Every structure is written in structure tokens, then in C-alpha cells.
Amino acid sequence: MTDDHLDGNALAGPLREIFAVDMTAAVGRCAGCGLTGPLATLHVYGPGPGFTARCPGCEEVVLRVVRGPDAAWLDLRGAVSLRIPLTDAEPS
């Protein structure tokens, strides 16, 4: 197998357009093998036709992002959940 992928930091731009915070620090769990880690550690293929981000442990697809001219498609098929770091919530 070749290893001609980018790292998960390549997702910063396309995900910045969709989410309010930097998603590369979000910690996800692979639905394939259970490996847990920040999105920045994913193996990313792309940019064209879209970004495909794979688990560094099992190479299953964790997420995909396709940017069309007037919409983005986001597929989170391989992420059980994402822990997204946020600043302290305002006390209610």
C-alpha cells in the first residue's frame, strides 16, 4: 500500500466552513475498530473529488466532505461520536 495521504489538519479548511469551531481538535471514535483520537490524526485523501478521512488504525472511512459550488456534503459514517472542545458555558 502507498501512503500518499495528508494528515487530518487538511480538514481544517473544509470543516471550518461548516462548524463554528476548529474541528481538527475534536476527538472521535472509529466505528470500525474503536480507535479514539483527534481528527487531526486521520489519514486524509483528496481534495478531489472530495476529502476522504480514514482511521489511522484500520483505514476505514471515518468522514467525507464534498464541497460543491453552492453546498457541502458531510458524511460522518465512521465516527461513533465526536468530543468537540468548547469554552466554558455561561452559568445559567
Partner 1 sequence: MGIISRGFQGRRRGSDGRLPPGQYLVHDFPVLSAGPTPRVPLDRWEFTIDTEDGRRHRWSWQDLMKLPSETPTVDIHCVTKWSKLDTAWQGVSLDVLFEEVESAAEYALIHSYGGYTTNLPVEDLLDGKAWLAYRYDGDDLAPEHGGPARLLVPHVYFWKSAKWVRGIRLLDEDEPGFWETAGYHNYGDPWREQRYEGD
Catalog residues that contact partner 1 under the rule CB under 8 A.
Answer: 1-5, 43, 45-46, 48-50, 52, 54, 59, 61, 64, 66, 68-69, 71-73, 75
Which residue, 25 or 66, has its beta carbon nearer to partner 1? 66
Residue 63's contacts (CB-CB under 8 Å, 6 or more residues apart) are: 11, 28, 39, 42, 53, 74, 75, 76, 77, 78, 79
Instruction: Report the nearest approach of partner 1 to the CB of residue 85 (Å).
Output: 27
Which residue, 32 or 38, has its beta carbon nearer to partner 1? 32
